[in-house]
Amino acid sequence: RIQTDAFLRAQGRTDVYVAGDNVFYVPEGEERPVPQMVENAESSAETVAHNIVAEITGEGEREKYAPKFHGAMLSIGGRYGVAYVGSAKRKISLASFFAMFVKHFVYVIYFIQVLGWNKVFSYVKHEFFTVRHCRSFLGGHFSNRTPSFMLVPLRVFFGAFWIYEGIEKIGEGWFGSPKLAAYFKSAADVFNTLAYGAAAGGGGDATSSATAASNAAAAAKPAGQLLANWNILGMFHVIFVKTTDYAVKIHFSLMDWFNGTFVTGSEGSQMFFQEFVVISEILLGVLLILGLFTFLSSAFSLALQAMFLMSTGMYLSTWWMLVAAVALLFGAGHTLGLDYYVIPALKKHWKNVRFVRKLYIYND
């Protein structure tokens, strides 16, 4: 170690600054020198950077190094460890699973500050998803490798189903005339009749429809069974029913407002969103069958299904699509798919783009 002054300059030198494990400095009020650990390295680097800028530019004052450590952690391999962490006034002891969790959580915070999100993703991948021989504190649960060619039949079938859904909507006239307002209302009537005893009074606003239904004077006889009717924190309203099939719908006030204001606000907006949904479904199907941009296709599939869940509800016959989209998120297009060729080529060119090379958030 190199002995430093309070500004982290090497003793007797004004042109050499020291940071990290090389620092030998006893802060004011302490009896021991700063420890050789990550938090000291990160804190001392910040002080050194500030002082160098102040010295070169002549702007601002140099600051003394006054670290405030939040504890210490010792890991024994990748699975076991102990930690003593907390604030300056109160610290707690942690062991095993919780100690290792704190370690990785703190590392992620440091990587966000120093190298950005790209490093966070590569770190998580290295420590949890690709580590071998169960050397993670989570064991081997997240690093088991299944041959991705087993996902090819699911990917192709999922894509074909999206194409079928899109073509079916074309046959129903979604390109010909506005249908969403009536479509939303008929779907809402099924849930509201069972949940409140009356059908919705019209319009695409699920919140106002539910209120109108609950206050209706004449209750219609339910043509099914209400299985659940939960109000979660006043934000989400989950209705689970059984008619000819099991169905679930989630009322979310923000989504209800969006549907009422933009989606069904006018005939023009209805046509726009109808065409958007149909084209999206067919495009998703084609991309999934080809195995091209599979991650984006699966993620957008989840977004579409979340929209359907909060607009018209989802029946048991389509619940499998949520699970399929999650299963296909990672790596499903790298076997017998165009992602095998396209993604490596895109990564190669992406890293050579000028603005990408200049931004730290893309560095590994």
Same domain, 217 and 156: yes
Look at residue 144 and tell me if it is in a domain.
Answer: no
Write b or e for each residue in 95-131: b if 16 or more Cβ atoms lie within 10 A of its Cβ, otherwise e: eeebbbebbbebbbebbeeebbeebbeebbeebeeeb
Distance CA 301, CA 283 (A): 11
Same domain, 253 and 195: yes
Distance CA 204, CA 193 (A): 16
Q: Strand 91-95 vs strand 225-232: parallel, antiparallel, or unpaired?
A: unpaired
Same domain, 75 and 177: no
* DSSP state, residue 126: I
Same domain, 92 and 238: no
Look at residue 15 and tell me if it is in a domain.
Answer: yes
Distance CA 202, CA 89 (A): 60
Same domain, 295 and 171: yes
Structure tokens at 38: 């990550």
| Number of Cβ atoms within 10 Å of the Cβ of 332 | 26
Same domain, 82 and 204: no
Same domain, 246 and 295: yes
Same domain, 156 and 300: yes
Which residues are CB-contacts of 63 (< 8 A; sequence separation ≥ 6)? 7, 47, 50, 51, 54
Q: Give phi and psi for 63, each to the nearest 5.
A: -115, 145
Same domain, 259 and 301: yes
Look at residue 65 and tell me if it is in a domain.
Answer: no
Same domain, 92 and 237: no
Half-sphere exposure of 61 (CA within 13 A, CB side): 3
Polymer length in residues for the chain: 364
SS3 state of residue 225: strand
Same domain, 159 and 276: yes
Look at residue 261 and tell me if it is in a domain.
Answer: yes
SS3 state of residue 259: helix
Same domain, 277 and 305: yes
User: How many folded domains does the chain comprise?
Assistant: 3
Q: Which domain holds residue 95?
A: 71-129
Look at residue 190 and tell me if it is in a domain.
Answer: yes
Please state the pTM of the whole predicted model. 0.73
Q: Bridge partners of 232?
A: 236
Angle subtended at Cα 304 by Cα 301 and Cα 310, rounded to the nearest 5 degrees: 140
Look at residue 142 and tell me if it is in a domain.
Answer: no
Distance CA 96, CA 78 (A): 10
Look at residue 21 and tell me if it is in a domain.
Answer: yes
Residue 215 CB-density burial (10 A; 0-12 exposed, 13-18 middle, 19+ buried): exposed
Output the tens digit of pLDDT for each of the chain's 364 residues: 999 999 999 999 989 999 999 999 999 888 899 999 888 998 999 999 999 999 999 998 999 999 988 888 888 888 899 999 988 788 999 988 999 999 999 889 888 888 878 889 889 999 988 888 888 888 888 887 777 888 999 999 999 999 999 999 999 999 999 999 998 988 888 888 888 875 544 444 444 444 444 444 334 445 688 999 998 888 889 999 998 889 999 989 899 899 989 999 899 999 999 999 999 999 999 999 999 999 999 999 999 999 999 999 999 999 999 999 999 998 899 989 999 999 999 988 887 888 777 766 655 5
Which residues are CB-contacts of 323 (< 8 A; sequence separation ≥ 6)? none
State the greatest distance between any 2 C-alpha atoms of the chain, in Å, as a whole number.
91
Look at residue 229 and tell me if it is in a domain.
Answer: yes
